[in-house]
Structure 1
């Protein structure tokens, strides 16, 4: 039975991957002209479909919006019952349908054409009503659905989704959409935070534990415990001299029975890893991962001590 399960899964993936690979053979001047049409448009991209194609349409809308191309979903059935008003004069309409011959599509297309909106078809049948009536037709033909009965939309919807991604990425590159633009559209998500969150945003709510080089180990331990960052900076005449971490304390206890006579200078780690307060938070993550550490000393441009950023700060923000 296990072999059957794996065999079915592998066959499904193989069928769909072959169909996607074949899309490169179906891309032609229609795709190029469709992209130029969207770039030239002063309106939005309205994407419509019915059934599983409607579900794919909503995902393509989300991808376009997140990459700088304003898009709106319009269900094909609802469009002919009042939602057609979504489409404005300068909008481009993308219509998705495997067969291109569903009743709703046949009613909808003439209504859109009456308002002279360009129509981009994504269909598996370029000779269908949709394929022949559209301004530009993007062929997503697949030989067979992954469904053994060749009924459930599987391979065909995957092909539609990939064609939508090809549209979105092409527009993204031609519009020179940058990582800063991406962050602007994703301010609340982990992806956006990686692109805009700075170390200063993380340390502003943290205390800045610090002791002097002549501070007793006992008081250094109290500072670490009270500030709850697992470490403290060690200063010499207000200049950074080192760092004491929980690990340093444990190593000291293993080596010395008379730790009460020791000072911070005796157990600190010199030349600690540092990061500029204006650096990106993701840079702090990279330094921690590379050096297998949990804390980073934060300094300003003049190398003045500003605090400590902890790995938990990054985890809390969803970056690590």
Structure 2
């Protein structure tokens, strides 16, 4: 059993080696890289990413990142390609092949077949004198000095370099397409991330009641309206105009100040400067307003008209927090 010191040392050394390998890629960002970006942007087809072994796993991740950031992409396993999967490649597609050595048997068979079909071939490879590098139209050099594996065998540093190079491509393509938050939300509608990017204040308010009361209403009526709608607040409305808002905190403070409530009305209790948000603003912006003002409810408006309410709990339930 290795000591804790030995384990920590091995982990730190692994991270140093992989960090150095990524930094080493900086010198490999050259004209081929920029031409690849231009080709993909101008292409009418997809990016077919292929590889074998651990490189195939990295290829799948690159495909996922491309697709989620606006670059249509498909994964093709190099071993399956020569057994029928070559049929997925269309004439306008660009093929990117990942390989550390560039000389595995599957890659040696696949590369000339891809060239024969007339598709542009990009090699992401660690050996510039390899078969893949020689066959490729463009090369992304992911050479690493050594693997983090103590036997220099298990793909570790080399796959990290491939992953980082793939991310560099994806982010450059994202910038080239002016891919913004709205685009990202379209491709990520599910989960908390998607909701933060597209869910609007009005979408949440629609699910809630719309507590409202006349300014001449009694304290009892105010309390009943707040209790029935379970939002901890009520909006004071007259002639469809928002006059103010009353929260359960306002009720408690009023009870501390007055013993005779018979002449007190909603108008006497209301806050005439409630915090509001337009229905078309994002729910995450509603959260920021709630935090900034240290409140739990927010009035939602539609062109200054009363649209509904948002409670802090609503944002929690939607995964915005």
Give the TM-score of the pair, scaled to structure 2.
Answer: 0.90
> How far off is 1:202 after superposition?
1.6
**How far does the alpha carbon of each residue in 1:64-85 deviate from its partner, in whole angstroms, 9 at most, with x for none?**
1111111000011111111111
What SS does the aligned partner of 1:293 have? coil
Match of 2:64 in 1: 62
Q: How does 1:1-320 map to 2 (within 5 A)?
A: 1-253=3-255, 262-301=264-303, 303-320=304-321
CA distance in 2, matches of 1:67, 1:224: 45
The answer (yes or no) to whether the contact 2:202–2:307 under 8 Å persists in 1 is no
Residue pair 2:202, 2:308 contacting (<8 A) in 1 also: no
Comparing 276-285 with 68-77, which one deviates more in the overlay? 276-285
Q: Cα offset for 1:225?
A: 2.1
Q: CA deviation at 1:209?
A: 0.7
Show CA shifts across 1:18-48 (max 9, x none).
2111111112222122222223322110000
CA distance in 2, matches of 1:197, 1:244: 27
Gaps of 5+ in 1: none
Give, in angstroms, the shift of residue 236 of structure 1. Answer: 4.5
Q: Quick one: distance in 2 between partners of 1:218 and 1:90? A: 72
Task: Provide the alpha-carbon RMSD of the alignment.
Answer: 2.2
Q: 1:3 to 1:244 in 2, by over 3 A?
A: farther
Q: What CA deviation, in whole Å up to 9, does each residue of 1:234-267 have, x standing for no partner?
A: 2345432322223334444555555676433444
Q: 1:289 to 1:129 in 2, by over 3 A?
A: same
**How many matched pairs?**
319
Distance 2:162 2:220 in 1: 66
CA contact (8 A) 1:218 1:260 kept: no
Q: Equivalent residue of 1:116, what SS?
A: coil
Distance in structure 2 (CA, Å) of the matches to 1:254 and 1:150: 75
SS of structure 2 residue aligned to 1:13: helix
1:105-133 deviation line (CA, Å, top 9, x unaligned): 11111111111111111111122111221
> 2:147, 2:158 within 8 Å by CA — same for their partners in 1?
yes
Alpha-carbon distance between aligned partners in 2 of 1:315 and 1:247, rounded to the nearest angstrom: 21
Taking the aligned partners of 1:251 and 1:134, their CA distance within structure 2 comes to 76
Structure 2 residue runs of 5 or longer lacking an equivalent are: none
Q: CA deviation at 1:186?
A: 2.1
Q: Which moved more, 1:111-120 or 1:191-200?
A: 191-200
Cα distance in 1 for residues equivalent to 2:239 and 2:294: 29
Deviations 1:49-94 (A, max 9, x none): 1111111111111111111111000011111111111111111100
Change over 3 Å in CA distance of 1:152–1:292 after alignment to 2:
farther
**Alpha-carbon distance between aligned partners in 2 of 1:266 and 1:11, rounded to the nearest angstrom:** 69
2:147, 2:157 within 8 Å by CA — same for their partners in 1?
yes
